[in-house]
Amino acid sequence: MPTRDRALPGEERLVSYNTESIRNIALAGHAGSGKTTLFEALLHAGGVIQAPGSVERGNTQSDTDAQEKARGHSIDSCIAGIDRGGCHVNLIDTAGYDDFRGGTLSAFAAVETVMVVVNAVNGIEHGTRRMMEHARSRGLARVLVVNKIDFEGAHLGALVEALREEFGPECLPVNLPAQGGKQVLDCFFHTEGATDFSSLAAAHQRILDQVVEINEATMGAYLDNGEAALSREQLHDAFEQCLREGHLVPICFASARSGAGVAELLDIAERLLPNPAEGNPPPFVNGEGEAITVNADPAQHVIADVFKIVNDPFVGKLGIFRVWQGTVRRDAQLFVDDGRKPFRVGHLFRLNAKNHLEIAQAVPGDIAAVAKVEEIHYDAVLHDAHEEDRIHLAPMRFPQPMFGLALEPKHKGQEQKLANALARLAEEDPCLRMEHHKELNETVLRGLSELHLKVTLERMRERYGVEVVTHPPRIAYRETIAAQAEGHHRHKKQTGGAGQFGEVFLRVEPLERGAGFEFVDAVKGGVIPGTFLPAIEKGVRQAMERGAVAGYPLQDLRVTVYDGKYHPVDSKEVAFVSAGKKAFLDAVGKARPIVLEPIVDMEVAIPESDVGDVTGGLAGKRARILGTDSRRGGELLIKALAPLAELVDYPTELKAMTGGRGRYSLDLSHYEPVPPVVQKQLVDAWRPHDEDD
C-alpha cells in the first residue's frame, strides 16, 4: 500500500512499497572495517545523496555527533532508507568499537539481515567474530562483506579460505572481484568472466550445490534436469531458506572508496535477502514466558518494538521502533506496554540519516519513530489493543557495564540537573547504568569501558551543560551466605500513646550462584497476620540492599519466616519492617557470610613480542589464563578470567607494556568469594550507619 513521506511542509512525495519489498539490514563489524564509508557509498548508489561523505572530513550522513566527528568513528547507530528498483532498504550503520556495542546490538532486534563488514587487509578481527556470533545467536541472516578490496596488502583468495575455516564451509562467495578490485562480478546467476582469483564457473557451482540441497523439491528438480530446470523464484526461495537456517553465509566483495561492488550489494539485497515476511519469526513472549506468534500482516493488531531512544534537541524524545504486525497510522491511538492510557500518534516519522520525514503510515517491516511520548522507553512494545498488554520481545544479551565512575556536580546546586542528564543519556544506551548508593550518598555511572564513560561525560557537558568531578567508585562486590542459620528479633517500643510491637523468627539458607532471592512464608496458625508479611519482606530487602558485613548488597539466598508474635493494638507495619530487618541480620551473622567479587572474561589482543610481559602482569592480578590464539599480522589474543578489582589501572598498564598497540575487552563472567585477606580488609573498612528503631 502506498505511503506518503513529507520532507518539508507543503511538499509530499509518494513512496510505494509493501512488506514484501522491504529489506532491513544492519552493517556491523570491527572498528576500521569501513562500515560508515560503505554506508555512504550505498546511500549514494541508491540515489539518496548526491555524493558520499567522508569520515576524515566529518561530513558523513551517519556520524553527525560532535564526538563522532572529533574521534573519526561511529558511536551511535544511524538509520537511512533507500528506494531502488521497487525495493525499500532500511539500512542501519552501527559502531565498531566494543565500547559502544550497546547500540549495535539494539539494532539487531530490528533487522532480518546483518552484513558483517571485513577489512580485506586486516582480515578476521575480534569484532568480526563477535558480530557473527551475536547475529547467529539471534537467528538472523548473515552476509560477510569484504571491503577495501582494492587496498594494497589485500589477499582476497587467502581471506576467503580463512573465513571458511573460521566460520564454516557454508561461507561461499556470491560474487568475485575482477580487474584488480576495480569491478565485482556475480557468480550466483552467471558463470562467465575473468576474475582476480578462482573462477565464476567454479564459484557458481559451489554455491549452487549448497543452495539446492536445502530443499528436497529443489534438489530433486536439479538432479533430474539440471540447473536449467530451476526458476529464479525457486533459486531465491532456496537461497532465502539457506540464509534463515544458517546453511549459507554469502561472501560479497566491495570497495566503498571506489564504489566497486556497492551497487551489486543493493542488487543482492533486492533479489536474494529475506523480506520481513521471510525472516525467522521474532522471539515475542507473553507474561508467562510462552512464545507467541506475530505475523507480518498489515490488517492485524499493531505490534511494534522500540529498539532505540534519541533525545533530539529539536523534536524532543524520539522513540524509534520496528513494526512487526499491523499498520501504524498517523493519529492512531497506541498503548505502551501494559499502560492503561493510550497516546495519540500526532506525528509519525521515517528516519533518513540526518532528516526526519513525516509519513502517513508504517507497515509491517517498517522502521519508524514517534516524538514527545515521555512514557516510551527502550524495548517498549507499542500496540493498539489490550490483548497484547503483557507481551515483549525476548531481550538482547547485552554485556554487563563493569567500569564505573563516581560523580558529583562541579558546581553546587546542579544535583538535579546532573540526575536528569544522566537519566536522558542512560535511556539512549542500554549499556549505561546509573546507581545511587544511599550510604555513601554517591552517584555512580557504569559503562563498558573507560572510553565509553569518557564519551558519555563529554556528551553530558556538551548537550546539557553539566560538568562533574569524578573519582573511582567502589567495586561492585556482593555478599551472600555459606550456611543455614536462624535469626530472631522482637521490636517493642512504648512512647506514651500507641506503641510498636512485632516479633519475627526466620531462617536463611544459601542458593546457587545467580539464583537471586526467595522469600517464603511458612507461618502457621496465624501467629503473624498475613497483612504483615509484606512489611517483613520489606525489612529484609532493606537489609539486603545495605549489606550485612561489608556494606554490599546480598544475593543468592532464601529467607523463610516461620514464627513470630503480634499485638492486636500495637502491631504496625513499621514494627514488622524493623523486626524483619534485624532478625535477618541476626541470621546472616550466624550463616558464615562471605563477600563475592565480580570475575570478568577478558580478551587481550597484543603483539606477540609482548606476550611475556602481559601474561606475567595478568598473573600478578590473580588472573587465570585460559588460552592464547595467534592472529594475522603477528597479533596474539589472550583469553583469561580475572577479578575486576585488580583491573582498575589496566588501561594505563597495557598501554605502557605494548607501546599503545594492545587492546582488551571485558564481559562479566560470574561472582566468586574473595580471598580471606581481601574480605577482612573490606569488613574492617565498612562503617555501618546506626539506625533508630
- Decide if pLDDT at 211 tops 60: yes
| 163-191: pLDDT as tens digits | 999 999 999 999 999 999 999 999 988 88
Question: Mean pLDDT for the chain?
Answer: 89
Query: Could you tell me if 660 and 637 lie in one domain?
Result: yes
Q: Which amino acid is at 533?
A: L
Q: Does 65 lie in the same domain as 153?
A: yes
Residue 517 to residue 494: CA distance in whole angstroms: 34
- CB pairs under 8 A, 24+ apart, for 635-639? 635/605, 635/606, 635/607, 635/608, 636/605, 636/606, 636/607, 636/608, 636/611, 637/126, 637/603, 637/604, 637/605, 638/602, 638/603, 638/604, 638/605, 638/606, 638/611, 638/614, 639/601, 639/602, 639/603
CA distance 649 to 158: 39
303 is written with which cell numbers?
A: 505490534
Answer yes or no: is 692 within a domain: no
Q: Is 13 inside a domain boundary?
A: no
When comparing pLDDT for 392 and 16, which is higher?
Answer: 392
- CATH number, domain with residue 615: 3.30.70.240
| Max Cα-Cα span within the chain | 100
Q: Are residues 165 and 218 in the same domain?
A: yes
* pLDDT value of residue 488: 96
CATH for 435: 3.30.70.870
Predicted local distance difference test score (pLDDT) of residue 316 = 83
Which of the listed residues 348, 369, 393 is the one where a domain comes to its end? Answer: 393
Q: Identify the three-state secondary structure at position 460.
A: helix
Alpha helices in 262-398 (DSSP H): 262-271
Q: Is residue 7 part of a domain?
A: no
Confidence band (pLDDT; 50, 70, 90) for 692? very low
Average pLDDT over residues 590-597: 95
For residue 299, the enclosing domain spans 291-393
3-state secondary structure 150-197: CCCCCCHHHHHHHHHHHHCCCEEECEEEECCCCEEEECCCCCCCCCCC
Structural domain includes residue 102: yes
By mean pLDDT, which of 26-30, 113-117, 526-530, 633-637 is the weakest? 633-637
In the predicted structure, residue 413 carries a pLDDT above the cut 50 = yes
CA-based radius of gyration for the chain: 29
23 with 166, same domain: the answer is yes
pLDDT of residue 693: 45
447 and 560 fall within a common domain? no
Asked if residue 439 belongs to a domain, the reply is yes
Amino acid in position 530: G
pLDDT band, very low/low/confident/very high, at 89 (cuts 50, 70, 90): very high
Residue 8 lies in a domain: no
Residues 465 and 532 in one domain: no
389 pLDDT more than 90: no
- Residue 146 maps to which CATH number? 3.40.50.300
Assign residue 322 the CATH number of its domain.
2.40.30.10
Residues 137 and 266 in one domain: yes
pLDDT in tens, 240-260: 899 999 999 999 999 999 999
Residues 505, 560 within the same domain: yes
Give the pLDDT band of residue 496 (cuts 50, 70, 90). low
- Per-residue CA distances from 236 to 171, 232, 271, 272, 306 (Å): 17, 6, 7, 6, 31
Least reliable range by pLDDT among 379-383, 495-499, 514-518: 495-499
Count the Cβ atoms, other than its own, within 10 Å of residue 296: 22
Total number of domains constituting the chain: 5
| Residue percentage of the chain with pLDDT more than 70 | 96
Asked if 166 and 129 touch (Cβ cutoff 8 Å), the reply is: yes
Ramachandran angles phi, psi of 508, nearest 5°: -120, 145
What's the pLDDT score for residue 362?
Answer: 94
Contacts of 634 (CB under 8 A, 6+ apart): 607, 608, 609
Residue 440 has pLDDT above 70, yes or no: no
Q: What is the pLDDT of residue 2?
A: 37
Among 286, 315, 294, smallest CA distance to 392 is for 286
Residue 306 sits in the same domain as residue 260: no
State the pLDDT at residue 236: 81
Q: How confident is the model at residue 295 (pLDDT cuts 50, 70, 90)?
A: very high
In a domain, 630, yes or no: yes
Count helices and strands in the chain by DSSP H and E runs: 16, 36
Would you say residue 399 lies in a domain? no
CATH number assigned to the domain comprising residue 574: 3.30.230.10
Band (436; pLDDT cuts 50, 70, 90): confident
CA distance 435 to 437: 6
Pairing of strands 316-325, 303-312: antiparallel
- Flag whether pLDDT at 506 surpasses 90: yes
Same-domain status, 375 and 410: no
User: Mind listing the pLDDT tens digit for each residue in 299-319?
Assistant: 999 999 999 999 877 778 999
Q: Find out whether 368 and 359 touch, Cβ atoms under 8 Å.
A: yes
Q: Both 374 and 523 in a single domain?
A: no
Burial environment of residue 684 by CB neighbours within 10 A (0 to 12, 13 to 18, 19 or more): exposed
In a shared domain, residues 42 and 159: yes
